[in-house]
Amino acid sequence: YGEDTLSRRVYTLKIKDLTTGNYLQDEIEGASSAVAWQNDNNAFYYIKTDPQTLLGYQVYRHVLGTPQSSDELIFEETDSAYYT
């Protein structure tokens, strides 16, 4: 789920194991609310928001159990007239 503590639609994504009720250590900062899980449930895709415009401009792939700094950039919108 996403937690927005500033009311700016910029979320910290948190992952909860629904079978155990425990939270995973994975937390994604600066994301939009859109998430798409990979079919094997070991990774998901998320949209990073621009801190100035608050629009989504980058799509990343996060593998569970790895730090956000190692996430793979999948797509970046470089034209400011558009956003993801």
Q: Decide if 83 is inside a domain.
A: no
Q: Decide if 81 is inside a domain.
A: no
In contact, 48 and 56? CB cutoff 8 Å: yes
- Per-residue pLDDT of the chain (84 residues), as tens digits, is 999 988 788 999 999 999 999 999 999 999 999 999 999 999 999 999 998 888 999 999 999 999 999 999 999 999 988 888
Report the predicted TM-score, pTM, of the whole model to 2 decimal places.
0.90
Residue ranges of alpha helices (H) inside the chain are: none
Q: Decide if 84 is inside a domain.
A: no
Q: Decide if 82 is inside a domain.
A: no
Q: Decide if 10 is inside a domain.
A: yes
Q: Decide if 50 is inside a domain.
A: yes
Range of the domain at 42: 2-76
Report residue 80 as tokens.
Answer: 């400011």
Q: How many domains does the chain have?
A: 1
Q: Decide if 25 is inside a domain.
A: yes
